[in-house]
Structure 1
Amino acid sequence: MPEHLAKSPNSLKHILPWKAGILTGLTSGLVLGFFLKAIQTYTGEKVYTLLLNIDFVPWLPPTLPEYIEFGLHLIVSIIIGIFYIWWIQRAGHPIAKGVLIGIFSSLLYIPLSQLSSRVPDLYDINAILYWLVGHLLFGVVVGGCGHLWKHSQKQDQKGDPPFRHE
């Protein structure tokens, strides 16, 4: 392979870390989805329906099978995960930034609750609280994944295996 195309393993760690971002988004998206599904199942609050709601996307039908809607949710989570890993790679503080992403993503309740009659009302306090808790959980999971990734990067740079137990 020509030298200009060959990259050392160390230089590859400084580009956008696709695997870490995908795993972060997938893990946090699954946790959020299953949490809100459980809340909706046990309380009747339509927070999972709100999470998967696509009524407002003009080029999609108003309802799709749940697994496709959940897949779309995971795609958004993966995009967030990739952005997040890129962000902490440059600025650090993975847990704080993860929680910040959870807080900011919870603000989507405001516009999303206005876009469909199938979802909770803007002033449904119980739904808002479940949504906030779910998105804080999402942020904590994002932050935890980022913390693990940053820790493994430090260990790789030292040459030690990550998470070595003595």
Structure 2
Amino acid sequence: MVTRQHLVSGASSGVIGGVILGFFLKVVQTFTGIKVYTLLLNVDFLPILGRVIWSEFVEFFFHLCISFLLGMIYSFIPKTKTHPYITSFIITIPTIPLFYVLIHLSIKETVSITDLTGFLLWTIGHILFAFSLAASYQYLTKKMTT
């Protein structure tokens, strides 16, 4: 049974993971010039949202909304039968090939679709997300029960 405490832990963990992912990709883009952070925040291909030029802050908020939802989904998956890190990686794995889908859909310039370094950085960032999702969920759930 999912309790309010599990939902709060899941949502919070999703946001924590989203912040870590965003920070990592922002730092990587700043130092390498590879536009993986731009890709992460890009919404220009979406029918309604894409018509507006959003600030970085608002685009990052959109990214955190997705992270929030992933955290909520994570809270609904029973972790007694599976290792919590495996569960978070299973949830996160579909975001890795989104690299190619998002590049294809993007209107503004992002990372090149043939940039293997960009793909590797994107993948590392999402592995960080998965790890931080599980770690923060475990920490928050334990902290709320004590």
Query: TM-score by structure 2 length?
Result: 0.87
- Greater share of residues in helix: 2
Q: Which moved more, 1:33-42 or 1:109-118?
A: 109-118
Gaps of 5+ in 2: none
Give the 3 Å change call, closer, same or farther, for CA 91–80 of structure 1 in structure 2: farther
TM-superposed CA distance for 1:106, in Å, is 1.2
TM-superposed CA distance for 1:149, in Å, is 4.7
Deviations 1:54-111 (A, max 9, x none): 0111101253100000000000100000001111357542111112223221121020
Trace 1:101-116 onto structure 2 (pairs within 5 A): 101-116=91-106
Answer whether contact 2:36 2:111 (CA < 8 A) is retained.
yes
- For residues 40 and 78 of structure 2, the distance between their equivalents in structure 1, rounded to whole angstroms, comes to 26
Give the 3 Å change call, closer, same or farther, for CA 110–25 of structure 1 in structure 2: same
2:38 paired residue among 24, 46, 49? 49
TM-superposed CA distance for 1:51, in Å, is 0.1
- For residues 75 and 139 of structure 2, the distance between their equivalents in structure 1, rounded to whole angstroms, comes to 11
Trace 1:37-76 onto structure 2 (pairs within 5 A): 37-60=26-49, 61=51, 63-76=53-66
Query: TM-score by structure 1 length?
Result: 0.77
Q: Which amino acid aligns with 1:79?
A: L
Answer whether contact 2:14 2:67 (CA < 8 A) is retained.
yes
What is aligned with 2:86? 96
CA RMSD, Structure 1 to Structure 2 (Å): 2.1
Q: Determine whether 1:14 maps to 2:2.
A: yes
Q: Determine whether 1:124 maps to 2:112.
A: no
Answer whether contact 2:79 2:87 (CA < 8 A) is retained.
no
Kindly tell me the number of residue pairs found equivalent between the two proteins.
143
Higher RCO (C-alpha 8 Å, min separation 6): 2
- For residues 123 and 115 of structure 1, the distance between their equivalents in structure 2, rounded to whole angstroms, comes to 15
Q: Determine whether 1:77 maps to 2:67.
A: yes
Aligned-residue sequence identity (percent) comes to 34
Gaps of 5+ in 1: 1-12, 162-166
Instruction: Give the structure with higher Rg (CA).
Output: 1
